[in-house]
Amino acid sequence: MEKIESKENELDLEWIQLIQEARNLGIEIEEIREFLSSQKETETERLL
């Protein structure tokens, strides 16, 4: 269980870093959400 929590914390830190880098580049959170949403839709369509 601790290993899972550790991995989740590691992933959380990576997401925080990515969001901070995106903000430094002038990318808004909403743009990130839209991009991730479009990628998820594309992946779902590909699987069907």
Each residue of 4-47: pLDDT tens digit?
788 888 889 999 999 999 999 999 999 999 998 998 877 777 77
Neighbours of 17 (CB within 10 A): 10
- pLDDT value of residue 4: 78
Nearest residue to 34 (alpha-carbon basis) of 24, 22, 46, 25 = 22
pLDDT at 17: 95
Q: How far is CA 24 from CA 1, 5, 45, in A?
A: 35, 29, 32
Q: What is the pTM of this model?
A: 0.62
